[in-house]
């Protein structure tokens, strides 16, 4: 028994180090030019000049980012938006529309409950009304093309979240996008940290877009993480398709290293996540028609090597040659990469 355990442990350790380097990225890229990117709150706060904003807009177009999720920070316990910068927001959206007319500027709004990092009681109708009012303000006064609710931690089957989506949709002007940043699909033993397929179908009927956060999974083996992402591509697209909703799915992929204990950058990284997406969408039961693209988390944690991986393995649809794979794997194993943002932006998202 002891020998068998030792052999198993040795195999796991060997796979942990070998898999990121030698596992080939299979499947095909189904890039449609409708990808997403989460961007830091500094854009909304007006901490970038016009030249920097124009350069950012050019980068979004070049990288085929259609949905730019600009962080506008968070909802307070009473349901109101903590920070309001309408002048900066209007300037940001104006430049983006002029420079990159194909890109949609989406207000990414964090709302944390007691399991997340806040005290938002979504079951309170007064809180929801104020949140809906904040969404209207972001669209009507700031000029955003839509709103993405990032409600964490949203339990499976939460009726209050459905109510928030329905009320927001009813209040937003026609043509404005209503999205949600959502957890992964998890099997029933792990349902505390994810959703069931029936709930994905219900949420899909109440919004235009879901961006699935395929990170902070707690997976400790690279192979297991790839399988988990592959399952998201299969099961969530199938659930949305069966719902008969026009909602579209983006799969959010990580590029950050510093994070909570549930994130190991050697396991959860862009190359392995793209491997899971590509291979999952090729599976028999996947429904790629409802898949829009991938969403990168985030602009302030993605370095040149990761953008190169994105370009080769997703935009160009390359097969993920081992030369590229080895480069990305060596990068992900270097746990001391200089990190360009404070931990609160990734871990707290507030």
How does pLDDT run along the chain (350 residues), one tens digit per residue?
776 666 566 667 767 887 888 888 999 999 999 999 999 999 999 999 999 999 999 999 999 999 999 999 999 999 999 999 999 999 999 999 999 999 999 999 999 999 999 999 999 999 999 999 999 999 999 999 999 999 999 999 999 999 999 999 999 999 999 999 999 999 888 888 899 999 999 999 999 999 999 999 988 899 999 999 999 999 999 999 999 999 999 999 999 987 778 898 889 999 999 999 999 999 999 999 999 999 999 999 999 999 999 999 999 986 543 434 444 444 444 443 433 333 344 444 56
User: Domain coordinates of the chain in residue numbers?
Assistant: 28-322
Q: pTM (2 decimals)?
A: 0.91
3-state helix, strand, coil in the chain (%, to 5): 45, 15, 35
291-297 vs 177-182, strand pairing mode: unpaired
Q: Provide the phi-psi class of 308: left if phi over 0, else alpha when psi is between -120 and 50, else beta.
A: alpha
Name the CATH superfamily for 28-322.
Answer: Glycosidases (3.20.20.80)
H or E element in which residue 139 lies: helix 125-140
Phi and psi angles of residue 180, each rounded to the nearest 5 degrees, phi first:
-145, 135
Q: What is the DSSP letter of 290?
A: G
**Nearest C-alpha neighbor of 255 from the set 348, 345, 152:** 345
Pairing verdict, β 104-112 and 209-213: unpaired
So what's the pLDDT on residue 14?
Answer: 66
Query: Which pLDDT value is given to residue 3?
Result: 63
Could you tell me if 324 and 313 are in contact, meaning their C-beta atoms sit under 8 angstroms apart?
yes
Structure tokens at 138: 């972001």
Distance CA 151, CA 163 (A): 13
């Amino acid at each position: 028994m002891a020998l068998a355990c030792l052999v198993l442990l040795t195999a796991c350790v060997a796979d942990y180090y070998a898999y990121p380097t030698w596992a080939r990225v299979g499947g095909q890229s189904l890039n449609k030019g409708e990808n997403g990117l989460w961007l830091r709150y500094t854009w909304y706060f007006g901490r970038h000049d016009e030249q920097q904003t124009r350069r950012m807009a050019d980068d979004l177009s070049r990288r085929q980012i259609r949905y730019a999720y600009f962080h506008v920070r968070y909802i307070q316990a009473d349901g109101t938006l903590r920070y309001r910068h309408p002048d900066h927001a209007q300037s940001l959206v104006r430049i983006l529309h002029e420079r990159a007319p194909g890109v949609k500027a989406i207000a990414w709004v964090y709302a944390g409950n007691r399991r997340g990092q806040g005290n938002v009681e979504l079951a309170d109708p007064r809180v929801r009304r104020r949140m809906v009012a904040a969404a209207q303000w972001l669209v009507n006064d700031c000029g955003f093309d839509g709103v993405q609710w990032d409600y964490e931690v949203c339990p499976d089957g939460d009726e209050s979240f459905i109510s928030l989506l329905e009320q927001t949709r009813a209040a937003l002007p026609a043509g404005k996008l209503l999205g949600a940043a959502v957890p992964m699909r998890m099997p029933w033993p792990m349902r505390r940290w994810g959703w069931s397929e029936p709930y994905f179908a219900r949420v899909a009927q109440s919004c235009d877009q879901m961006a699935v956060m395929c990170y902070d999974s707690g997976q400790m083996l690279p192979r297991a993480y790839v399988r988990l992402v592959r399952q998201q591509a299969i099961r969530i697209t199938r659930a949305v398709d069966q719902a008969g909703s026009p909602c579209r799915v983006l799969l959010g992929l990580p590029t950050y290293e510093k994070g909570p204990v549930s994130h190991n950058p050697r396991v959860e990284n862009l190359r392995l996540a793209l491997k899971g997406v590509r291979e999952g969408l090729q599976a028999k039961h996947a429904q790629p028609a409802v898949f829009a693209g991938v969403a990168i988390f985030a602009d302030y944690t993605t370095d040149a090597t990761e953008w190169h991986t994105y370009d080769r393995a997703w935009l160009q649809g390359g097969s993920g040659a081992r030369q590229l794979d080895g480069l990305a794997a060596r990068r992900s194993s270097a746990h001391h990469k200089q990190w360009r943002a404070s931990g609160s932006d990734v871990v707290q998202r507030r």
